[in-house]
Structure 1
């Protein structure tokens, strides 16, 4: 793995910068701090075959690394290489200054940053293959970014940085109004929606669901259904086509339809109201009892 790309044997220096975070921010590992500085010892992952010359190379680079404070995790860039297929390989030390070994069990998102901190590539990595990072250790590894995750045509060979993307603390679930709704809704109606979103239980992490707000049959026999589209994930969700069934108080399906939308976007950790209109020909029951109803995406 470490010999994935060749290095210039006449050059014994690392090209990348360092990115260091507190172990609590990355791993949730809380530990007491005495204020001492840590010199990390070179460590190779299990099942990695490496020659003596390479060992000397990594040992030399490791000796040149700056000291870390206690309880930190750091990425120290060594080399970067762009392949003809568009993939970008980054060789870096992963350093652990905790007084105990740690494992990165959950997938983690890494960023390749340019000289101005602009994001050159972004990808989620599974680092379980590294095994345990021993206490006060420095582990060389190669991180391969797939071509689809690389955002630029040329990767600079100096002044770059491999960095952790730390998860932002999740704030409260909030209301997100489409611009047309923002302009047309009365302030009192906006306040009611905001209060509703605040008081109801938010969707589970990663879940997208629908909550009925209002339904009515108009004079032409069309059924108007207003739903709160609730996004509990950390990513924005775009809806382009949505099949919907509506059941009335008797549990009967009273309307069926498939709605095409111009990429309706529901931002991460927000709820957005939207009205779906079933024309009369899609209404299956004219005398529907809408005193109690629900709308859902049919399975299959």
Structure 2
């Protein structure tokens, strides 16, 4: 079966999922105020390497005519349908990728989601949008997004009302998640410094939770205050009720070890880093000979 055979006369355009293009790409063109709310009718565009048979062009035109107009400076994914691949259990998700920008764009890696009619995620996968080529201004390009079996969580093809959409969490990038207590105590400049530090930290895996040391202080009473970045690479929040934690100094020696009951529960939002300070009382600290010029925080196994 060829690529174009997957698009059939019986196909219909379904749900549309549009976002502000500024989430993905910086546009150099400016939209006049008087045009800000106008309807943009996207024109059908084929990949330059596609040699589309005339009969198939009719199918694409028929589908494109059913696309609802966009507002200026939007990117959209308009669902068509899903065809399972029996050979490997993957899904071929047919859709139009649309742009209402007044200029051509080319994108990179973006995570896409398949959501059912109740907005529950049933598939997610990263796609290299460079393969779609340069997308002309105010255009709609048909494409097939193949979701491997390992990225699908549903046993069945979704009912009507499903959609394919951009994962906005992955688009916005990893961010600082500052608790209200920290916001009240820290001057704005200090908050900005923390946000800048977060940007410099190594990229997390999609399901990784990481503890990175920020600042530590050994007090006169031998208690140890350790401020730590709790980093959440998941696309869902994590809630910490109890956390075993140890501090390892520059010698590789555990100089503090304890377990913290967190009440209220400490929540770290998806794809964010939250700083938090843990206080080890003196009885949990081995202060003699401690070298805190370099140190790490870790959760003991």
1:275–1:79 Cα change, 3 Å: same
Contact 2:175–2:198 at 8 Å: present in 1 too?
no
1:204 matches 2:198:
yes
Separation in 2 of the partners of 1:83 and 1:56?
Answer: 25
What's the CA shift string for 1:247-268, capped at 9, x where partnerless?
Answer: 3xxxxx2725898999x99722
Residue number in structure 2 paired with 1:195: 185
What's the CA shift string for 1:180-209, capped at 9, x where partnerless?
Answer: xxxxxxxxxxx6897369736313227263
Query: Higher mean Cα deviation, 266-275 or 129-138?
Result: 266-275
User: Once the 2 structures are TM-superposed, how far is the Cα of residue 289 of structure 1 from its aligned partner?
Assistant: 6.0
What's the RMSD between the two structures over aligned residues? 4.3
1:213 matches 2:203:
no
- 2:168 match: secondary structure: coil
Separation in 2 of the partners of 1:135 and 1:163?
Answer: 20
Match of 1:93 among 76, 93, 96: 96
What's the CA shift string for 1:132-172, capped at 9, x where partnerless?
Answer: 10112110111112223222211225221111222469876
1:37–1:224 Cα change, 3 Å: same
Spell out the pairing of 1:70-81 with structure 2 (5 A cutoff).
70-81=72-83
What's the CA shift string for 1:92-151, capped at 9, x where partnerless?
Answer: 11112222211113x222221211222222222220111210112110111112223222
Higher Rg of the two aligned structures: 1
1:98–1:133 Cα change, 3 Å: same
Residue number in structure 2 paired with 1:245: 248
Residue number in structure 1 paired with 2:31: 32
1:288 matches 2:289:
yes
- 1:204 match: secondary structure: helix
Separation in 2 of the partners of 1:197 and 1:237?
Answer: 27
Query: Higher mean Cα deviation, 17-26 or 191-200?
Result: 191-200
- 2:55 match: secondary structure: helix
User: Once the 2 structures are TM-superposed, how far is the Cα of residue 274 of structure 1 from its aligned partner?
Assistant: 4.0
Separation in 1 of the partners of 2:130 and 2:225?
Answer: 45
Separation in 2 of the partners of 1:145 and 1:48?
Answer: 22
User: Once the 2 structures are TM-superposed, how far is the Cα of residue 73 of structure 1 from its aligned partner?
Assistant: 1.8
1:233–1:246 Cα change, 3 Å: same
Residue number in structure 1 paired with 2:274: 270
Residue number in structure 2 paired with 1:3: 3
Runs of 5+ consecutive residues of structure 1 not aligned to the other structure: 177-190, 248-252
Runs of 5+ consecutive residues of structure 2 not aligned to the other structure: 202-210
Separation in 1 of the partners of 2:161 and 2:252?
Answer: 62
- 2:253 match: secondary structure: strand
- 1:64 match: secondary structure: coil
Spell out the pairing of 1:111-260 with structure 2 (5 A cutoff).
111-167=113-169, 173-175=177-179, 195=185, 199=190, 201-202=193-194, 203-205=197-199, 207=201, 209-215=212-218, 225-231=224-230, 235=234, 245-247=248-250, 253=251, 255-256=253-254
Contact 1:225–1:277 at 8 Å: present in 2 too?
yes
Separation in 2 of the partners of 1:163 and 1:120?
Answer: 12
